[in-house]
Amino acid sequence: MAEPIVKSTPLTWYVENLAAFTSIATLVAIVWLLCFIYRRSGSLLFLRDWIWRFFGGKPHFETKRFERMRKDLRELEYYRYEFNIPANTLHEADLAEEWVYDNGFTPREFGRVKRYVDWSDFTTLRFITRRFAQWRINCFFFLAIVLLAGVTIAVPLIESKYLMVSLKNSPDAPSFYLSEDNVKFGIWSDSVLKVEHCRSSESLKPFLLPGLPEEKLDIICSFFLDKNYSKYVSEGLSEQRGLLFSLVLVSMAGMIYLVILIARMEVGRRLYKQWLTNQGRPL
């Protein structure tokens, strides 16, 4: 049997880079927020103004016509962000407002269907019906169910006492699961490898698997003799639970996004039918 591990363990923790993952997630969240604001408002003038004033720049123009242009740009940015209407000029903003009220839409409802309207010509605004087709709604609903199933599976694993690991330098060896007093080779398996199974080749036979011959099982058995084994498992479980919890949060956020998306598609379908009625066209 292999000698006990003293200085290190030949294991790969699947969540050993949790700090890096957290930093990347924070950066992604900040970038996502800026992208959301830019996608909705079409510009980041407010941020540029803040940076300009922070370094002592003048808050306004002395020339009246330049100041008017500056205010028009900020007014348009605020209009786009508030109503989610991608107008490029104040004239287009006026045309969009007329179309909304002429068809009996509310600004709140209309702001939710930006992606379902053809904005290429503000004088003849119309809906893009293929974007809220029923088959799309069905696909998004199915994806939400898949995410829900993932959350349902992940939540019990957060409380699991087993740490998912693999052997270093053995890519052909299957992953397995460590606890402080036994090893599993399948997360739902009832068969566990304990210290007493490591005492002879005969008792190890039931645990032989493709990619896990007896010599590799001996390596796994040697973990029980490592004085730092419990510490490794405890720290690894803490990181694994953190990662699983993060994945659950991301999945729940994805489900919420899909539900909102489906709701907006339904609003788009309803406004489209209302628009057809106003035009005197058959539904």
For residue 29, the SS3 value is helix
Same domain, 110 and 188: no
Evaluate the CA torsion angle 108, 112, 116, 122 in order and state its sign.
Answer: positive
Same domain, 181 and 149: yes
Same domain, 170 and 252: yes
Given a cut of 50, whether residue 7 has pLDDT beyond it is: no
Residue 116: partners with Cβ closer than 8 Å, 6 or more residues away: 127, 128, 131, 132, 264, 265, 268, 272
**134 occurs within a structural domain:** no
Same domain, 148 and 69: no
How many Cα atoms are found within 13 Å in the side-chain-facing hemisphere of 220?
A: 33
Burial pattern 197-215, b for ≥16 Cβ within 10 A else e, equals bbeeeeebeebeeeebeee
Report the C-alpha gap between 205 and 207 in whole angstroms.
5
Same domain, 74 and 156: no
What are the start-end ranges of the E strands in the chain? Answer: 11-13, 117-118, 126-127, 163-167, 176-178, 183-184, 192-193
**pLDDT, tens only, 192-230:** 888 888 888 888 888 888 888 888 888 888 888 888 888
Given a cut of 70, whether residue 159 has pLDDT beyond it is: yes
Same domain, 175 and 246: yes
**106 occurs within a structural domain:** yes
**28 occurs within a structural domain:** no
**Predicted confidence band at 6 (pLDDT cuts at 50, 70, 90)?**
very low
Among 70, 102, 127, the domain boundary falls at 127
Among 95, 127, 159, the domain boundary falls at 127
Same domain, 147 and 120: no
**161 occurs within a structural domain:** yes
Same domain, 251 and 148: yes
**2 occurs within a structural domain:** no
Q: What is the mean pLDDT of the chain?
A: 86
Residue 71: partners with Cβ closer than 8 Å, 6 or more residues away: none
**pLDDT, tens only, 70-91:** 999 999 999 999 999 999 999 9
**168 occurs within a structural domain:** yes
Please provide the distance, in angstroms rounded to a whole number, between the alpha carbons at the two ends of the chain: 77
Same domain, 157 and 217: yes
**pLDDT, tens only, 100-154:** 999 999 988 888 999 999 999 999 999 999 999 999 999 999 999 999 999 998 8
Same domain, 18 and 148: yes
Place of tokens 């510009």: 43
Among 103, 127, 151, the domain boundary falls at 127
Q: DSSP states of 264-281 as a string? A: HHHHHHHHHHHHHHHHT-
Same domain, 18 and 151: yes
**Predicted confidence band at 282 (pLDDT cuts at 50, 70, 90)?**
low
**104 occurs within a structural domain:** yes
Q: Which of 5, 22, 16, 3 is nearest to 166 (CA)?
A: 16
Report the C-alpha gap between 100 and 171 in whole angstroms.
60
Instruction: Give the range of the structural domain holding residue 167, as residue numbers without chain letter.
Output: 11-23+143-259
Same domain, 159 and 90: no
What is the pTM assigned to this prediction?
Answer: 0.67
Report the C-alpha gap between 183 and 164 in whole angstroms.
10
Kindly give the pairing relationship between strand 192-193 and strand 126-127: unpaired
**79 occurs within a structural domain:** yes
Domain count across the chain: 2
| Residue-level length of the chain | 283
* pLDDT at site 3: 43
